[in-house]
Every structure is written in structure tokens, then in C-alpha cells.
């Protein structure tokens, strides 16, 4: 047994987190920064955080993840990190020559109270920032929120630093895709373009964290939203923010400052959430939905009707991020599965009430917790076993111990490939999700079938 100390008996905990279902802000900020063209993320703190964030992102994407650090020592922790950050800015521009440095803080620099804006201004005044280059900044203390919060903070920071209205509409539409895979960002772009929309998508890690093998390494590849696009997003027709936690702040800030009307939607995972996304896009941008999209919707629905018997009333346990879990649970409910245990490490009561709403009509009790952890999820599973587990790679320990069919979903996925290339968003992504779910459910039936019941056609 891998998790041999996880008991059925649940002793309530207030202080100890066991097997977290979240991680810290800066990694989200680093991921968002990588979605800006020619940008080097910079971690203002001790070098350990940066090493950890880079390693974790690298394991998930299997791509180069470059980022620099202020390398605080005990001295900087006492006197503040100004000298370190100014030296870092100088070293980075001289050595690596990005167009943009995106600084995020860590628990250490936040606790010290370093004022990064003031330090960046000093660096500019001292001539350490070459002309036409930029230092942007987001505050990302990890003792608040989670990695999703950090993503949101950096996304807001990039928009607010660059956006500047000219007074003339640019005929474009802003889409903030949320903390999703590069493949999802590509898919969201494809769908928007198919609808005749010219999107500005930020951040956009496609082409950065799923780049091709060419034998020629480039620290700053072609992908990512450009500074010019970010500047122009103040002139867009509107903004759709996907995922209330990851994207809403940026969209609302653009609305408040530059009067770009915004709406917040769920990430288009599954049928209903994608329906809402497409419909909102259609109305907001004043376009009609092309046949190809309607056809993809029909194909997704076709799989659902064809395979409904295998989904019906199967119990599911999920761990992940609120922005993903809400549409995902809705999708499972829509295909008549029973999501019974749902946990996120990210705090916020709104999550629990959304899930309660979505599952209120189910013929079973549903356990849901924000600011929970995977230990708790596992204990729930021990008390009420499930037919399917959906979680990041840490889920495999529960899946193996309790022999549960298991689909990897979320962050990080460190033991399989595919997530960065094949989307799980929009209708096509929904089809892929169903394929994955069916694969594990049917493989399990095949494995367990006695010979006389082993079927060729399922």
C-alpha cells in the first residue's frame, strides 16, 4: 500500500494539511508570464522557490521553462532585496535580452515588504532597463489563495501595465483563457477565429510550452501574446474572461480603467459550458456560429448518446482547481454520472455553493470542500467508493491503492504526455475527455470480465 496510513476513520483537522490539492501563487504567475512573447519570468525571493517552480512546470510540460531569481541571502532577507533585483534586471537584459521581465514576489519578499514597483522604477532611473524594454510586476504572496491566484494576479498585471486606449476600436475581442493548457489556448483561438472573431488571447502559452523539436533552441520562441497586443487590448470590443478565479480580475480591471465591457464565463469544459461560451461570444461580438462549430457540438453529443449506458450513475471523485472543477462537474452531471466527492485546495466558499447547486438534484450525498486536501478526498473514497477518479498525477497513489479507474486531469501531470498537445476545452476537447473516461471505464470492464462475459463489441 502506497498510502498505508490513510484510514477510513476521519479525525477532523484544523491546522495540518496532508497531500495538498493546490500549490503556491508564484508558479501560476510564472506560467502566466511564459504566455507573453519574449518575456523572462523573474522570481523575487530566495532561489529555492524559483528552482521548484521551474522544475514543476518542466515536469508537467516537458519543455524548457526559463526564469531568473533574485537569489536572496540572509542579508537580503534583513535589508530587503532592492540591490538583488536591480542587479538581476541588469544581468538579465545584458545576458538574455528579453523584451520583458515579469517579476513576481515570493513569500519571503512579501513578508519583508519589498516594494517592487519602486525598485523597478529605480532600475529604469539608473538606466538598467534598455529603451523599449519593460519590467512588469505582480504581487504573489503564497499565504493567500493558491497557484490560481498567482496566475490571476500576473494576468491582471500584464494587461494593466500595457493596455492603453487610443480611442479607436481595433475590431478585436479579448479572451482571457484562464489557467489552462497551451493546447486549450490554441483550441479557444481556433473556435473564435472560426466564428470570424479576431481574438487577443492573453496569456497564451501555445507555441511556448508545447513547442516543436527543431534541433535549434530558442529561449524566446514565437508564441505568447505580444506587448503590442496587450497594449491594444484597451481598444477591443469586449473581453470574455474564462474562469472566475483565474481571469475575472484582469477583465474587470480593463473594464474599470479602459471601459472594455467584460463578462466572466466558466472555462468551456464539456457541453453546457461550451454552449454558454460560444453563445456569449456570438452575442458579444455580433457574429453567427458557423456550421463547423455546430457540427462539432453534434459530434460531442453523439458520443454522449452512444455511450450513455457506461456513464449512467457511475460515481466519480475529483480533485483540482475550482475553475476546472465547476464546468467539469457540470459536464459529468449532464451525462448522468454522479460526482460524489469533490475537493479543491484553493480556498473560497463560492466553489462549494456552485458545486452544491450543480449537484443538488443528484440521488446521493455529495461531499465538497474548498481549502481541502487529497487526504480528505481519499478518506471520503474509503467511506464511499467510486468508479472513477479524476485528479492530477498525485491521484495515481489513491488509484493504485484502491484500484480505481483514473483519468489524469489538472496540474501537474508529471507521468503522461498529451495534455499540452490535445485540448480538453470546447466541443472537441469534450470529445477527448469522454474518450479518456470511456477508455478507463471500459478497460476496467474488460479486465474484470469473466471469460464468458468478455465482449468484442461494447
Residue 347 touching ligand SF4 (CB under 6 A) = no
Find out whether 192 and 281 touch, Cβ atoms under 8 Å: yes
Q: Could you tell me the smallest distance in angstroms from the CB atom of residue 101 to ligand SF4?
A: 18
User: Quick one: which of 163, 125, 123, 157 has its CA closest to 140?
Assistant: 157
User: Quick one: which of 201, 224, 192, 200 has its CA closest to 211?
Assistant: 224
CA angle 216, 219, 223 (to 5 degrees): 95
Q: Could you tell me the smallest distance in angstroms from the CB atom of residue 24 to ligand SF4?
A: 3
Residue 46 touching ligand SF4 (CB under 6 A) = yes
Q: Could you tell me the smallest distance in angstroms from the CB atom of residue 14 to another protein?
A: 6
Residue 430 touching ligand SF4 (CB under 6 A) = no
Q: Could you tell me the smallest distance in angstroms from the CB atom of residue 286 to another protein?
A: 41
Q: Which three cell numbers stand for residue 30?
A: 510564472
Residue 17 touching ligand SF4 (CB under 6 A) = no
Q: Could you tell me the smallest distance in angstroms from the CB atom of residue 72 to another protein?
A: 5
Which C-beta is closer to ligand SF4: that of 142 or that of 183?
A: 142
Residue 26 touching ligand SF4 (CB under 6 A) = yes
Which C-beta is closer to ligand SF4: that of 52 or that of 397?
A: 52
Residue 142 touching ligand SF4 (CB under 6 A) = yes
**In b/e form, how buried is each residue of 160-180, taking b as 16+ CB within 10 angstroms?**
bbbbebeeeebebbbbbbbbb
Q: Which three cell numbers stand for residue 445?
A: 470492464
Residue 144 touching ligand SF4 (CB under 6 A) = no
Residue 33 touching ligand SF4 (CB under 6 A) = no
Q: Could you tell me the smallest distance in angstroms from the CB atom of residue 140 to ligand SF4?
A: 7
- Listed ranges 43-51, 190-198, 399-407, 430-438: which one lies at the site for ligand SF4 (CB under 6 A): 43-51
User: Quick one: which of 174, 122, 1, 320 has its CA closest to 329?
Assistant: 320
Residue 49 touching ligand SF4 (CB under 6 A) = yes
Which C-beta is closer to ligand SF4: that of 69 or that of 239?
A: 69
Distance CA 215, CA 206 (A): 19
Residue 49, classed as helix, strand or coil, is helix
Residue 319, classed as helix, strand or coil, is strand
> Which of ligand SF4, another protein, none has residue 214 at its interface (CB below 5 to 8 Å by kind)?
another protein
User: Quick one: which of 339, 345, 351 has its CA closest to 390?
Assistant: 339
Q: Could you tell me the smallest distance in angstroms from the CB atom of residue 158 to another protein?
A: 20
Which of 36, 103, 108, 293 touches ligand SF4 by CB under 6 A? 108
Find out whether 433 and 440 touch, Cβ atoms under 8 Å: no
Find out whether 321 and 410 touch, Cβ atoms under 8 Å: yes
Find out whether 231 and 160 touch, Cβ atoms under 8 Å: no
Which C-beta is closer to another protein: that of 216 or that of 349?
A: 216
Q: Which three cell numbers stand for residue 143?
A: 499565504
Residue 70 touching ligand SF4 (CB under 6 A) = no
**Residue ranges that bind ligand SF4, judged by CB under 6 A:** 24, 26, 46, 48-49, 52, 106-108, 142
Amino acid at each position: 500500500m502506497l498510502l498505508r496510513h490513510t484510514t477510513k476513520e476521519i479525525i477532523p483537522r484544523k491546522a495540518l494539511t496532508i497531500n495538498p490539492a493546490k500549490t503556491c501563487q508564484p508558479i501560476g504567475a510564472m506560467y502566466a508570464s511564459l504566455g507573453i512573447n519574449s518575456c523572462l519570468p523573474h522570481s523575487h525571493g530566495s532561489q529555492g522557490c524559483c528552482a521548484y517552480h521551474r522544475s514543476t512546470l518542466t515536469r508537467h510540460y516537458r519543455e524548457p521553462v526559463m526564469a531568473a531569481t533574485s537569489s536572496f541571502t540572509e542579508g537580503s532577507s534583513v535589508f530587503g532585496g532592492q540591490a538583488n533585483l536591480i542587479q538581476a534586471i541588469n544581468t538579465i537584459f545584458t545576458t538574455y535580452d528579453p523584451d520583458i521581465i515579469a517579476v513576481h514576489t515570493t513569500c519571503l519578499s512579501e513578508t519583508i515588504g519589498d516594494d517592487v514597483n519602486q525598485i523597478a522604477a529605480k532600475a529604469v532611473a539608473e538606466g538598467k532597463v534598455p529603451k523599449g524594454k519593460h519590467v512588469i510586476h505582480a504581487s504573489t504572496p503564497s499565504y493567500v489563495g493558491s497557484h490560481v491566484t498567482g496566475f490571476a494576479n500576473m494576468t491582471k498585471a500584464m494587461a494593466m501595465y500595457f493596455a492603453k486606449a487610443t480611442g479607436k476600436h481595433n475590431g478585436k475581442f479579448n479572451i482571457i483563457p484562464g489557467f489552462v493548457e497551451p493546447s486549450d489556448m490554441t483550441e479557444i483561438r481556433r473556435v473564435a477565429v472560426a466564428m470570424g472573431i479576431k481574438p487577443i488571447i492573453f496569456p497564451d502559452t501555445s507555441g511556448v510550452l508545447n513547442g516543436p523539436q527543431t534541433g535549434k533552441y530558442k529561449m524566446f520562441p514565437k508564441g505568447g501574446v505580444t506587448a503590442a497586443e496587450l497594449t491594444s487590448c484597451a481598444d477591443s470590443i469586449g473581453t470574455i474572461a474564462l474562469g472566475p478565479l483565474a481571469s475575472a480580475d484582469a477583465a474587470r480591471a480593463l473594464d474599470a480603467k479602459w471601459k472594455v465591457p467584460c463578462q466572466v464565463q466558466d472555462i468551456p469544459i464539456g457541453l453546457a459550458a461550451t454552449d454558454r461560451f460560444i453563445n456569449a461570444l456570438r452575442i458579444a461580438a455580433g457574429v453567427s456560429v458557423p456550421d463547423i462549430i455546430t457540427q462539432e457540438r453534434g459530434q460531442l453529443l453523439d458520443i454522449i448518446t452512444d455511450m450513455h449506458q457506461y456513464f449512467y450513475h457511475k460515481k466519480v471523485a475529483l480533485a483540482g482547481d475550482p475553475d476546472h472543477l465547476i464546468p467539469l462537474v457540470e459536464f459529468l452531471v449532464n451525462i448522468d454520472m454522479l460526482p460524489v466527492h469533490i475537493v479543491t485546495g484553493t480556498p473560497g466558499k463560492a466553489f462549494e455553493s456552485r458545486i452544491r447547486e450543480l449537484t443538488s438534484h443528484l440521488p446521493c450525498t455529495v461531499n465538497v470542500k474548498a481549502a481541502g486536501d487529497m487526504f480528505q478526498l481519499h478518506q471520503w473514497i474509503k467511506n464511499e467508493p467510486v468508479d472513477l477518479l479524476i485528479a492530477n498525477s498525485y491521484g495515481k497513489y489513491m488509484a493504485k491503492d484502491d484500484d480505481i479507474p483514473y483519468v489524469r486531469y489538472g496540474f501537474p501531470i508529471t507521468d503522461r504526455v498529451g495534455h499540452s498537445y490535445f485540448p480538453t476545452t470546447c466541443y472537441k476537447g469534450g470529445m477527448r475527455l469522454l474518450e479518456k473516461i470511456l477508455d478507463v471505464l471500459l478497460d476496467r470492464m474488460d479486465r474484470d470480465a469473466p471469460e464468458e462475459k468478455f465482449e468484442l463489441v461494447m
